[in-house]
């Protein structure tokens, strides 16, 4: 019958073994093995796998019960060991406990009901001990896995910190570059505006912003048609439609400006660069705004070599 608990009874007296078998006769949960000596009991333990409990007499010829249980404890420490003996000497009990590591010392003659209760309690104790051992093993495994995960997390955090530090340095460098770029734009003697793909003024240097001070809070963030004269907005619309550089002249506050617009390279940033440079005599003579031509060539170079 599968799942039955295996119990080995060892006693040199046949009558005792018969009495034990009668005790377990109505217990279907137990499978009983019997031996008449310690040596025979060891042979059964070697040949039968999974014996949970050993009940042994104390005094037997050849190998005493204590010596037998001592070997059982060394070779099969998970078994529950019980001593049956007609000798209630304290020294006997101490010897059995110290050498055989027994769970219970039961005197002969025994009471069947009490013996079965003790056996049931011993087996329950064994079950709890095994479950506790299994939980401890799982706990140790979980602890080791947690250590590994923590080490991996620590390594990942270190890597992340390095990435954040590198990213921070890159952003700081980019901010410095942008600040320098803005400073350069602000000292130019002509107006430069950046217009995004939706027609909003996203950038402007000091010269450009000073041209349109009538707009509340300055021109940045406003739509082109709300800030620039109609000549400029028409030119911007034409550039959006044709994606070709555009040029015109416009008068702002009695000053004539050469106005040119160029599309930004799409892989860099979509939008328009607008330049307004004051018209000088040389520029009018040659028909070219020198400052605007410099910006045009710069934009063309960026588009060819992104």
Name which residue leads in pLDDT, 36 or 198: 36
Would 245 be classed as within a structural domain? yes
Would 240 be classed as within a structural domain? yes
Would 13 be classed as within a structural domain? yes
Q: What is d(CA 55, CA 128) in angstroms, rounded to the nearest whole number?
A: 20
CATH code for the domain of 98: 3.40.50.2300
**Per-residue pLDDT averaged across 95-100, rounded?**
62
Q: What is d(CA 168, CA 229) in angstroms, rounded to the nearest whole number?
A: 42
**Per-residue pLDDT averaged across 13-40, rounded?**
92
**Per-residue pLDDT averaged across 83-105, rounded?**
69
Which residues sit opposite 277 in a β-bridge?
258
CA dihedral defined by 240, 241, 242, 243, rounded to 10 degrees?
20
Closest CA to 34 of 59, 53, 62: 53
Would 127 be classed as within a structural domain? no
Domain boundary among 75, 110, 145: 110
296 and 194 within one domain: yes
List pLDDT tens digits, range 152-210: 998 888 888 889 989 999 999 988 888 888 888 888 899 999 998 888 998 899 999 88
Of the pLDDT bands very low, low, confident and very high (cuts 50, 70, 90), residue 12 is very high
Would 148 be classed as within a structural domain? no
**Per-residue pLDDT averaged across 266-283, rounded?**
74
Domain boundary among 57, 82, 110: 110
Closest CA to 57 of 42, 35, 73, 30: 35
Would 84 be classed as within a structural domain? yes
Domain containing 229 equals: 188-304
Mean pLDDT, rounded, of the chain: 84
194 and 103 within one domain: no
Q: What is d(CA 100, CA 67) in angstroms, rounded to the nearest whole number?
A: 7
Would 121 be classed as within a structural domain? no
192 and 104 within one domain: no
At residue 191, the pLDDT reads 93
pTM of the model: 0.50
CATH code for the domain of 192: 3.30.450.20
**Per-residue pLDDT averaged across 204-229, rounded?**
87
Q: Which of 95-109, 222-236, 263-277, 279-293 has the lowest mean pLDDT?
A: 279-293
At residue 71, the pLDDT reads 93
Find the angle CA(68)-CA(70)-CA(72) to the nearest 5 degrees.
70
197 and 101 within one domain: no
Would 220 be classed as within a structural domain? yes
198 and 290 within one domain: yes
Q: Strand, helix or coil at 217?
A: coil
At residue 39, the pLDDT reads 94
Question: Does residue 255 have a pLDDT over 70?
Answer: yes
What is the number of other CB atoms lying within 10 angstroms of the CB of residue 235? 23
Q: Are the C-beta atoms of 252 and 279 separated by less than 8 Å?
A: no
Domain boundary among 110, 125, 145: 110
Contacts of 178 (CB under 8 A, 6+ apart): none
Containing H/E element for 171? Answer: helix 112-187
How many residues does this entry show for the chain? Answer: 306
Question: How many domains are there within the chain?
Answer: 2
Of the pLDDT bands very low, low, confident and very high (cuts 50, 70, 90), residue 286 is very low
Question: Does residue 267 have a pLDDT over 60?
Answer: no
Q: What is d(CA 96, CA 100) in angstroms, rounded to the nearest whole number?
A: 5
Which residues sit opposite 83 in a β-bridge?
56, 105
Residue 260: which region, alpha, beta or left (left: phi > 0; alpha: psi -120 to 50)? beta
Of the pLDDT bands very low, low, confident and very high (cuts 50, 70, 90), residue 45 is very high
At residue 287, the pLDDT reads 43
């Amino acid at each position: 019958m599968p799942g039955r608990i295996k119990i080995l009874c060892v006693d040199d007296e046949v009558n005792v073994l018969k009495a034990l078998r009668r005790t377990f006769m109505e217990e279907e949960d137990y499978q009983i093995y019997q031996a008449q000596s310690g040596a025979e009991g060891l042979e059964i333990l070697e040949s039968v796998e999974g014996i949970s409990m050993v009940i042994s007499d104390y005094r037997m010829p050849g190998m005493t019960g204590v010596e037998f249980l001592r070997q059982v404890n060394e070779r099969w420490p998970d078994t529950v060991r019980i001593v049956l003996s007609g000798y209630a000497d304290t020294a006997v009990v101490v010897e059995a406990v110290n050498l055989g590591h027994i769970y219970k010392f039961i005197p002969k003659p025994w009471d069947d009901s009490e013996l079965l209760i003790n056996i049931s309690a011993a087996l329950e104790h064994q079950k709890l001990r095994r479950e506790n051992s299994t939980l401890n093993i799982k706990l140790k495994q979980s602890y080791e896995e947690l250590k590994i995960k923590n080490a991996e997390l620590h390594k990942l955090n270190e890597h992340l910190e390095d990435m954040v530090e590198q990213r921070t340095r890159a952003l700081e460098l980019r901010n410095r570059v942008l600040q320098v770029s803005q400073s350069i734009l602000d000292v130019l003697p002509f107006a430069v505006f950046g217009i995004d793909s939706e027609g909003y003024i996203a950038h402007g240097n000091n010269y450009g912003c000073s041209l349109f001070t009538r707009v509340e809070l300055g021109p940045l963030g406003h739509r082109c048609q709300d800030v620039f004269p109609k000549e400029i907005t028409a030119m911007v619309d034409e550039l959006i439609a044709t994606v070709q550089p555009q040029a015109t002249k416009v008068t702002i506050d009695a000053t004539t400006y050469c106005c040119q617009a160029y599309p930004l390279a799409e892989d860099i940033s979509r939008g328009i660069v607008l330049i307004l440079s004051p018209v000088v005599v040389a520029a009018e003579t040659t028909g070219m705004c020198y400052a605007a031509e410099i910006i045009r060539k710069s934009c063309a170079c960026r588009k060819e070599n992104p």
